[in-house]
Amino acid sequence: MSVYTPAEVVEETGFSIDTLRYYEKIGLLAPVDRNSAGQRRFSEDDLGWLGTIRCLRDTGMPIAEMLRFAELVRAGDHTIADRIALLEEHDRRVRDQIDNLAERQRYIHNKISYYRSVL
Amino acid sequence: MSVYTPAEVVEETGFSIDTLRYYEKIGLLAPVDRNSAGQRRFSEDDLGWLGTIRCLRDTGMPIAEMLRFAELVRAGDHTIADRIALLEEHDRRVRDQIDNLAERQRYIHNKISYYRSVL
DNA sequence: GGTTGACCTGGAGTCCACTCCAGGTGGGAG
DNA sequence: CTCCCACCTGGAGTGGACTCCAGGTCAACC
């Protein structure tokens, strides 16, 4: 089981070290293992979880809701139905976001066409 | 030429009255006409511009850039090429956003499928 | 003529998600 | 041995985009 230094995790996840500490502080990341000097050593599992966080964050999920999800994950297998419900709800919002963006994009395209026509 | 009260504009645009005042204060909205009592009376043009703002805002354009666009619009027809450039740049970012969301959505779908498989 | 309600102003406050800072530790390179 | 560098902590500060507030005006309705 390999471990990762903060610098490696920054490199792999794209989160800043401050953000990683912040996520741990608020409990979005479970307490990370430390070496004898008290420095963080992230596990493979931490990396996987950070990947999930990245995905949820980048699709606009607020931290408060990611925290709820994190709690469900920590609570064990009996919360899987709840996790599905949470992700499905989020998925609907992502779909709405995409539809909305596509709709607005048409407006932008029209605007560009209009400007081109008066050049 | 009909005019609109603040309440009507709130109704039509979905912006709150505080947001409308804020946009006027920072210059995103040109100074709005007033009646004899000093109350705002929005024009058809204001409504149209607010529609544009809504679209740009909802596609994630920061206020600073909307301000730049507003200045180009106010500067007159010789800025049309610049406006096209700005909108095309923004359009690219919107496309990236949509692609990104679609990609992340696949991850979410996989996650849901996985959870379903272990139920 | 009193009350209500929509509106006004300047400025302070809020929320979110970080981001930065000062001051300190421990291990490895030269 | 000394220096540097990556890392640590608690807590303060930032940026963006609003949102709220106190105190005031005016017109209209009862």
Reported as a single tens digit per residue, the pLDDT across B83-117 is 999 999 999 999 999 999 999 999 999 999 999 99
What total number of domains does chain B contain? 1
Portion of chain A with pLDDT greater than 70, in percent:
99
Q: Is the pLDDT of residue A1 over 70?
A: no
Burial (0-12, 13-18, 19+ Cβ within 10 Å), B117: exposed
Q: Are strands A42-43 and A3-4 parallel, antiparallel or unpaired?
A: antiparallel
CA of A60 to C1' of D11 (A): 28
pTM, two decimals, is 0.93
Interface of A with B (CB under 8 A): 52, 55, 58-59, 77, 80-81, 83-84, 87-88, 90-91, 94-95, 97-98, 100-102, 104-105, 107-109, 111-112, 115-116, 118-119
Residue of A23, A24, A20 lying closest to A8 (CA atoms): A20
Backbone angles phi and psi of B40, in degrees to 5: -70, 140
State the CATH number of the domain containing residue A12: 1.10.1660.10
Q: Tell me which residue range forms the domain holding A30.
A: 3-118
Which residues in chain A touch residue B83, judged by CB atoms under 8 angstroms apart? 115
The nearest CA of chain B is from the CA of A39 a distance in Å of 31
Could you tell me which residues come within 8 angstroms of residue B39 by beta carbon, excluding any fewer than 6 positions away?
A: B5, B6
Q: What digits encode the pLDDT tens for the residues B51-75?
A: 999 999 999 999 999 999 999 999 9
Across the interface, which of A90, A104, A107 has its CB nearest the CB of B108?
Answer: A90
Task: Give the HSE-up count for residue A79: Cα atoms under 13 Å, Cβ half-sphere.
Answer: 12
